[in-house]
Each structure stands twice: as structure tokens, then as C-alpha cells.
């Protein structure tokens, strides 16, 4: 069968690699893909939010199944659109995607179903902000309700900052929504738990820990993710049971009751405090760069698993994992997550000799006249699988040094919580 894969990041290159290995797949079309996917698939340049253009490509290239990587087309209803056109598509519908698309929706659902999460208030005016400030201690977390490309969350240590940030959101800084969600600050250790879900069942799809801050020792601005590893040792069997019973099952049941059962990958973002999981966020997709450390550990034919989700047949699917550990470090353009130069050539890629346990997933790259250029903030994901995180990280850093890309920077301390010096 022919697959259409939507997206252009490191997550999509990792998905593309797995789909490429599937025995069921004849051709892959990436919409729009990156320089990495162009070696495995046909890249087709298209605006993925222009659903009509996407559908045209699906018809022209005889695409049988569509896999959606990023959140925006999901939140905007691409699944509903394609279902109406009788196209097989993997991912949640527009209603279910509100778990990520609206923090207010997600928090209200948590409250209704007693799902452990930070205490919160959805605010539409200054009066409500002041009322929450009066009842809660600093720091307070201010969130834009709608999608904000990872820039919608600020942890505020003063009341003034809460008011300033909220004002910007009320004024429409993020076009997706003018509502503000205020939350109490939760301390603890963050971890991510993944599932693949169909109408009736769900299956475990790995754990990971991301590093969101741009600088070493978790300092500096938030980013999309500077590196990750899997599995996340903090998620013990005991904590996993709590995640399933207190968070996942009530959420999936709530969506079923609304006649919009969840389908697709589900990313459960957690804060673990004294052995108790609290829901920080849901993402309605795989994480990026978490996907890049989970998929290399997957033994199954990924298209078989995806088709079983589409056809509500997950019950009979057994998902098998390699025993090994996996880490990825993201090589970024200097300046990221603020402004950075684009269209900088990346030489020396041929110098990197990958073996069967190492992968180089592209993110913001483009192929032009046989050369590879950096066109994004997060550029390359160096990924290694092995049995010791310390050795894995050394091998990754070695690869990055061999590349020696002048416009790049990366965090050398990915995995600091689990690699003891
Ligand atoms: P979110 O987009 O909701 O995942 O928030 C982005 C990041 O902000 C999270 O990964 C956490 O590091 C942090 N964060 C969000 N909400 C809270 C909270 N209530 N308490 C502490 N940290 C938070
Ligand atoms: N790495 C965080 C995310 O994918 O949302």
C-alpha cells in the first residue's frame, strides 16, 4: 500500500524510517517531509493546513493510508475532513484533539472526572486573574488556552508578571484563543507516557524524558525539546498503574461518552511527585524528540500497529520492545529558540558512519542541488540505541563532533538525571 505521511520534523523522519521498514508498504509520500525523508520517500511540497490540496495529492498519488505527525492539522480537523472523503487516516478527530488544542477543555475534563492535575482557573478577564492570584501562592503558571507552538506557557514568580502575560494573551498574542488558564505550580520530575489508542482499547507505546530548556542544567528558554531518552526509569510499574487508572481510563471514557472516542497516538505529559502522577498536558500525537527515541526500540511492523488502531483491532496487537535504551540529542541552529539564520549549508554529513544501532533523523533540513541546508531551529537528531546511557551519550557526542557544523549547538548533558558522574 501507499502511505501519506504528514509533517516535516525529526518525528516524521523517525516515523518514515519505520514505515519504510514495513512489509506492507509500497511507496511513501511525505507532505512535505525534509532532506532525511527524501531518501526514503517522495517529498511533496504542500501546505498541510490546506485540506483540499492535501486531498488532491492523496487522489493523484493513490495514497491508501494517511499518517498525521503534528498537532495542528489534527486540531484543525484533518481527520474529520479525510474521513468524510472515505480516506483511511490515523489520528484523533477534531473533538478528541481538543485534549491538546484547548487547555481549558482538557482541564475542565480533568475536573469533571477527578483526574489529578494542578489546581486551575480559566480566565477571560482581569478580575478572574486577580481572584485566582488572591487564592493561590506564587509561582503561578500562565498558559494560553489554544495552540501556541510551545510558546504558550510561562512560569511566573510575581503577580505583575502574571498580569502582564495574561494581558498579552487577552489581546490576542496567540491567534488560537484569547483565554488564559492559570495553574498552581507543581514541583516534581517530568516524564512522558505514550499510548496507541483505538475505539475500544489502548496499548502502551513507551516512556521518555525530554529536555525542554535550551541550556545545560535546564537553564534558559523553553524549546520544542533539546534531547530525550527512553525508557524513563521514574515510571515504575506502580506509577504506571496509577497513570492508567487515574488519568488515562477516565479521559478515554469521557471522550467515548461524548461520542468522540480517541484514536491515534496519545502523549501523556506528567509531573511525578512523591510517587503520584499529575497530568500536566496531553498531546494528541507522538512527541518530538520523544518519538525519535521510542520508535528505534519498537520491534513491530509499525503499519500493522497503525492499521489495527484505524480498524479498532488493537485488542489483538502485541507490541514488542527491544530491551535496549535509546537517546537522542538535537543539533540546533545557533540562536534557537530565538531567531537564527536559515539556509546554512551542512557539510560533512558523509563523514558520519552510522551502524545498525545509530540513526540520524533530520528535522529542519532541505535538499537543494544535492546539498543539504538547515532551514529550521532544530536541525538534526543524533540517535543511538545501546545498553548504557553514558556510553550512548558519548557515542552521540562523537558523531556531532565528526560533523563539526559551524552554525550548530547542542546540550551535552542530556540524560543528566540518570547518568551519574
Ligand atoms: P505544557 O505546554 O502545558 O506542557 O507546559 C510546558 C512546560 O511547562 C511543561 O513541560 C512543564 O515543564 C511546565 N509546566 C506546565 N504546567 C506546569 C505546572 N502546573 N507546574 C509546573 N510546571 C508546569
Ligand atoms: N517534546 C515535547 C513535545 O513534543 O510536545
* Cis-peptide, bond into residue 139, ω within 30° of zero: yes
Q: Which ligand is nearest to the CA of 139?
A: 1
Q: Which CATH number does 325-420 carry?
A: 3.90.600.10
Task: Return the H-helix or E-strand segment holding 53.
Answer: helix 51-60
Mean of the pLDDT values across residues 279-308?
98
CB atoms within 10 A of CB 4: 26
From the CA of 225, how far away is ligand 2's center (Å)?
6
Who contacts 12 (Cβ-Cβ below 8 Å, separation ≥6)? 5, 6, 30, 33, 34, 37, 69, 70
Cα 366–Cα 370–Cα 372 angle in degrees, nearest 5: 35
From the CA of 127, how far away is ligand 2's center (Å)?
32
Q: Is residue 421 predicted with pLDDT exceeding 70?
A: no
Atom of ligand 2 at shortest range from CA of 283 = 5
From the CA of 59, how far away is ligand 2's center (Å)?
31
Q: What is the pLDDT of residues 37-86, one digit of tens each?
A: 999 999 999 999 999 999 999 999 999 999 999 999 999 999 999 999 99
Residue 27, helix vs strand vs coil: strand
Count CA atoms closer than 13 A to 329's CA, side-chain side. 26
Atom of ligand 1 at shortest range from CA of 117 = 19
Looking at 2.60.40.10, 3.30.470.20, 3.40.50.300, 3.30.70.20, the CATH number of the domain 189-316 comes to 3.30.470.20
The residues lining ligand 2, judged by C-beta closer than 6 Å to any ligand atom, are 210, 224-225, 283, 287-288, 290
Nearest CA residue ID for atom 5, ligand 2: 287
Per-residue pLDDT band at 176 (split at 50, 70, 90): confident
3-state helix, strand, coil in the chain (%, to 5): 30, 30, 40
Is 327:415 a contact under the CB 8 Å cutoff?
Answer: yes
Atom of ligand 1 at shortest range from CA of 143 = 3
Q: Which ligand is nearest to the CA of 147?
A: 1
Measured distance CA(285)–CA(100) in Å, rounded: 9
From the CA of 121, how far away is ligand 1's center (Å)?
15
The closest of 357, 371, 372, 352 to 325, measured between CA atoms, is: 357
Residue 310, helix vs strand vs coil: helix
Is 284:267 a contact under the CB 8 Å cutoff?
Answer: yes
Measured distance CA(311)–CA(314) in Å, rounded: 8
Nearest CA residue ID for atom 16, ligand 1: 280
Task: Return the H-helix or E-strand segment holding 71.
Answer: helix 71-75
The residues lining ligand 1, judged by C-beta closer than 6 Å to any ligand atom, are 118, 141, 143, 153, 183, 185-186, 190, 212, 269, 280-281
Domain ranges of the chain: 2-93, 119-184, 189-316, 325-420
Measured distance CA(277)–CA(25) in Å, rounded: 38
Task: Determine the residue of 150, 191, 206, 270 to mutate for testing ligand 2's pocket, defined as the one with the most ligand atoms within 8 A of the Cβ atom.
Answer: 150
Q: Is residue 150 predicted with pLDDT exceeding 80?
A: no
Q: Which ligand is nearest to the CA of 150?
A: 1
Per-residue burial over 62-93, b if 16 or more Cβ lie within 10 Å, else e, is: ebbbbbbbbbbbbbbbbbbbbeeeebbbbbbb
CB atoms within 10 A of CB 195: 21
From the CA of 309, how far away is ligand 1's center (Å)?
29
Task: Determine the residue of 224, 282, 284 to mutate for testing ligand 2's pocket, defined as the one with the most ligand atoms within 8 A of the Cβ atom.
Answer: 224
Cα 120–Cα 338–Cα 98 angle in degrees, nearest 5: 35
Q: Which ligand is nearest to the CA of 283?
A: 2
From the CA of 283, how far away is ligand 2's center (Å)?
8
Sign of CA dihedral 278, 284, 289, 293: positive
Is 402:348 a contact under the CB 8 Å cutoff?
Answer: yes
Per-residue pLDDT band at 138 (split at 50, 70, 90): very high
Q: Which ligand is nearest to the CA of 221?
A: 1
Is 392:385 a contact under the CB 8 Å cutoff?
Answer: yes
The closest of 397, 391, 390, 392 to 411, measured between CA atoms, is: 397
Q: Which ligand is nearest to the CA of 145?
A: 1
Atom of ligand 1 at shortest range from CA of 150 = 2
- Answer yes or no: CATH 3.30.1490.20 is held by domain 119-184: yes
* Confidence at residue 149, expressed as pLDDT on a 0 to 100 scale: 81
C-alpha cell at 98: 481538543
CA distances for 43 relative to 13, 38, 350, angstroms: 11, 6, 21
Q: What is the pLDDT of residues 89-119, one digit of tens each?
A: 999 999 999 999 999 999 999 999 999 999 9
Strands (E), 301-343: 325-333
Measured distance CA(295)–CA(298) in Å, rounded: 5
The architecture that CATH gives domain 2-93 is 3-Layer(aba) Sandwich (3.40)
Q: What is the pLDDT of residues 371-409, one digit of tens each?
A: 999 999 999 999 999 999 999 999 999 999 999 999 999
Atom of ligand 1 at shortest range from CA of 120 = 19
Q: What is the pLDDT of residues 233-273, one digit of tens each?
A: 999 999 999 999 999 999 999 999 999 999 999 999 999 99
Task: Determine the residue of 290, 329, 377, 378 to mutate for testing ligand 2's pocket, defined as the one with the most ligand atoms within 8 A of the Cβ atom.
Answer: 290
Residue that is written with C-alpha cell 475542565 in the block: 108
Q: What percent of the chain has pLDDT over 90?
A: 95
On the 0-12 / 13-18 / 19+ scale of CB atoms within 10 A, 61 is middle
Amino acid at each position: 500500500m501507499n502511505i501519506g505521511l504528514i509533517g516535516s520534523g525529526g518525528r516524521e523522519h523517525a516515523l518514515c524510517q519505520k514505515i519504510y521498514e514495513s512489509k506492507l508498504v509500497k511507496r511513501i509520500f511525505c507532505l512535505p517531509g525534509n532532506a532525511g525523508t527524501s531518501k526514503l520517500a517522495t517529498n511533496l511540497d504542500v501546505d498541510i493546513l490546506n485540506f483540499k490540496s492535501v486531498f488532491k495529492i492523496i487522489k493523484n498519488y493513490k495514497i491508501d493510508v494517511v499518517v498525521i505527525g503534528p498537532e495542528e492539522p489534527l486540531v484543525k480537523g484533518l481527520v474529520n475532513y479525510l474521513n468524510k472523503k472515505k480516506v483511511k487516516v490515523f489520528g484523533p478527530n477534531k473533538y478528541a484533539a481538543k485534549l491538546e488544542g484547548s487547555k481549558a477543555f482538557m482541564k475542565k475534563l480533568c475536573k469533571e472526572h477527578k483526574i489529578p492535575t494542578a489546581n486551575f482557573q480559566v480566565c477571560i478577564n482581569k478580575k478572574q486573574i486577580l481572584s485566582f492570584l488572591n487564592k493561590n501562592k506564587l509561582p503561578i503558571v500562565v498558559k494560553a488556552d489554544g495552540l501556541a507552538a510551545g510558546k504558550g506557557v510561562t512560569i511566573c514568580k510575581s503577580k505583575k508578571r502574571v498580569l502582564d502575560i495574561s494581558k498579552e494573551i487577552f489581546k490576542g498574542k496567540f491567534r488560537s484563543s484569547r483565554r488564559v488558564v492559570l495553574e498552581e505550580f507543581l514541583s516534581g520530575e517530568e516524564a512522558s507516557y505514550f499510548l496507541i489508542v483505538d475505539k475500544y482499547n489502548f496499548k502502551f507505546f513507551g516512556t521518555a524524558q525530554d529536555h525542554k530548556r535550551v541550556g545545560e542544567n535546564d537553564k534558559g528558554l523553553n524549546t520544542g525539546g533539546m534531547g530525550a531518552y527512553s525508557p524513563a526509569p521514574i515510571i515504575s510499574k506502580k506509577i504506571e498503574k496509577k497513570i492508567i487508572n487515574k488519568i488515562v481510563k477516565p479521559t478515554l471514557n469521557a471522550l467515548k461518552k461524548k461520542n468522540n472516542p480517541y484514536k491515534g497516538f496519545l502523549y501523556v505529559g506528567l509531573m511525578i511527585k512523591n510517587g503520584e502522577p499529575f497530568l500536566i498536558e496531553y498531546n494528541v500525537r507522538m512527541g518530538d524528540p520523544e518519538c525519535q527515541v521510542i520508535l528505534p526500540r519498537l520491534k513491530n511492523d509499525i503499519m500493522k500497529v497503525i492499521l489495527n488502531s484505524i480498524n479498532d483491532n488493537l485488542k489483538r496487537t502485541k507490541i514488542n520492545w527491544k530491551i535496549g535504551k535509546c537517546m537522542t540529542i538535537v543539533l540546533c541552529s545557533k540562536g534557537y529558540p530565538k531567531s537564527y539564520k536559515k539556509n546554512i549549508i551542512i557539510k560533512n554529513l558523509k563523514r558520519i558512519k552510522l551502524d545498525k544501532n545509530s540513526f540520524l533523523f533530520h528535522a529542519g533540513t532541505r535538499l537543494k542541488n544535492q546539498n543539504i541546508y538547515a532551514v529550521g531551529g532544530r536541525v538534526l537528531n543524533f540517535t543511538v540505541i545501546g545498553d548504557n546511557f553514558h556510553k550512548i551519550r558519548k557515542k552521540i557526542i562523537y558523531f556531532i563532533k565528526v560533523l563539526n557544523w559551524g552554525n550548530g549547538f547542542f546540550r551535552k548533558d542530556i540524560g543528566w538525571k540518570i547518568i551519574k558522574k
